[in-house]
Chains A and B, each alone.
Chain A
């Protein structure tokens, strides 16, 4: 079956630090990959996506590259801000079961 593995958290960084959040996946077929962000007290927002191998998704300074050879979709940002403090979920979708499969999520706290 499909699964998504995210690195263990929480992660605490100082403002302007470099961010990497690891995500690897197992899937049948050719999944689409997503990063969702959930700010405190809110629903999920799609942060970025990639639908095929070697695609790079980017938004708000965040980037992730779909790596088929390593089955990974790591999230990066060059300089985090306090406003980036949130929970980040990696997810995949395949047409086989028409469902989003989420990782466990990781809490990011950025201190001034």
Chain B
């Protein structure tokens, strides 16, 4: 299994809602990543988890809360988002943080109304 899966594929939420994005990989990778991608732009790194511990937070607002319950799962909890947070959210994984080949999931298209 060489896939990174993400659910849901699409999500529409209001500014007062709480929702979560889910990412899963079964490649035995110990590093997992969240990226945000706006239209026609490259992905921007948000968070990095290494061995289930948060190792990089790129000064992301606290309305985004990551969680890594185990080595295969990565969640992104969303609360009180703003319309400008609408974007494609991509999850990726790699063998380790120092192993550069990252495998990306298909993304969750988030719209904040």
Closest residue to A100 on the B side, CB-wise? B102
B107 within 8 A of A: yes
Given the known interface contacts A49-B101, A89-B42, the answer about A99 and B106 at a Cβ–Cβ threshold of 8 Å is no
B92 to chain A, nearest CB (A): 8
A: number of interface residues (CB 8 Å) = 22
* Pairwise interchain contact A99-B56, C-beta atoms closer than 8 A: yes
With beta carbons under 8 angstroms apart, the residue of B43, B92, B101, B105 that contacts A102 is B43
* Pairwise interchain contact A43-B90, C-beta atoms closer than 8 A: yes
* Pairwise interchain contact A44-B43, C-beta atoms closer than 8 A: yes
Give bound CA distance, A89 to B41, whole Å: 10
Closest residue to A103 on the B side, CB-wise? B42
The total of interchain contacts (Cβ-Cβ below 8 angstroms) comes to: 47
Q: Which residues of chain B are near A100, meaning CB under 8 Å?
A: 45, 100, 102
Q: Which residues of chain B are near A46, meaning CB under 8 Å?
A: 101-104
* Pairwise interchain contact A102-B42, C-beta atoms closer than 8 A: yes
Give bound CA distance, A84 to B105, whole Å: 20
B59 within 8 A of A: no
Q: Which residues of chain B are near A51, meaning CB under 8 Å?
A: 100
Q: Is the interface of A mostly helix, strand, loop or mixed?
A: strand
A25 within 8 A of B: no
Give bound CA distance, A44 to B104, whole Å: 6
Please encode chain B, from 69 to 113, with 1 for each CB lying within 8 Å of some chain A CB and 0 for all others: 000000000000000000000101000011011111111000000
A95 within 8 A of B: yes
Interface residues of B (CB under 8 A from A): 4, 6, 40-43, 45, 48, 56, 90, 92, 97-98, 100-107
Other than the given A46-B103, A98-B56, 20 more pairs (CB < 8 A) read A34-B100, A42-B106, A43-B107, A44-B92, A46-B101, A46-B102, A46-B104, A49-B101, A51-B100, A89-B42, A93-B100, A98-B48, A98-B98, A99-B45, A99-B56, A100-B45, A100-B102, A103-B42, A105-B42, A107-B40
Interface residues of A (CB under 8 A from B): 32, 34, 36, 42-46, 49, 51, 87, 89, 93, 95, 98-100, 102-105, 107
